[in-house]
Amino acid sequence: VFERREGAADSLYGAFFDAAPNLQGMFRAPRATMGLRILAGLGQFVQAAHEPPVMRKHVEAIAFNHLDLDVTAPRVEIFREATMEVFDLELGALFGTRARMGLCAIMTYAGGAYIFARKEYASRIRILLRSWNTAAKKGEAVDQIDDLDSKSSEEEEEEEVAQEHVQADAMKSQEGTGKNPQLKVPTTFDEMFLFNAA
């Protein structure tokens, strides 16, 4: 048993990278910092294990922090087994079968949540990143976003005609109201996004 958290954190971190040295590139923080983060995450999960809604919030929060990492089932298994070895080695008989099964279940659940979050939210994250890039360019030449703006030329012509009618109606309604008739109404996703971002 460790006297300080830093010792336990370093032991966990060391066991993980001894088991899978090729995964060291996934972690960009210094060893001491990463070890403490791993230990803190495990602590949160264990403390919230008896309250499923709280546990879910903790797991989701950490899962969203891992969206940039390629978390896979084999990597989760490597991490889980390395952690179990440290607990077996350091706690010995104090780390009983029930404790081992419980910690295994918690870590498997968390790892599955990381994989699920990456799989389910990756496309949404890509859309947000593309939108952010569009807003950051502020009207410069922007690549078409295939997912959101894939229309045939006939559909585009119909939209242009409809837009002309909308603009004509807007001009008529603004006559005599003192409003700026030169206000450009956005007609595409990119224009609307830039309009709202301004």
pLDDT band for position 109 (50/70/90)? Answer: very high
Residue 20 has pLDDT above 60, yes or no: yes
Q: How much is the average pLDDT of 105-115?
A: 92
Percent of the chain whose predicted confidence (pLDDT) is above 90: 18
Q: Give the separation between CA 91 and CA 107, rounded to whole angstroms.
A: 18
Higher pLDDT, 183 or 20: 20
Write out pLDDT tens, residues 54-92.
999 999 888 888 887 888 899 899 989 988 988 888 888
119-148 mean pLDDT: 67
In terms of residues, how long is the chain? 198
- What gap in Å lies between CA 103 and CA 83, rounded to an integer? 9
pLDDT at residue 145 tops 50: no
Residues 186, 140: Cα–Cα separation, whole Å: 15
Whether the pLDDT of residue 111 is over 80: the answer is yes
**Global confidence as pTM:** 0.60
Neighbours of 196 (CB within 10 A): 9
Asked if 95 contacts 88 with a C-beta cutoff of 8 angstroms, the reply is: yes
Q: What is the pLDDT of residue 24?
A: 75
Max Cα separation, the chain? 87
For residues 121-131, average pLDDT = 81
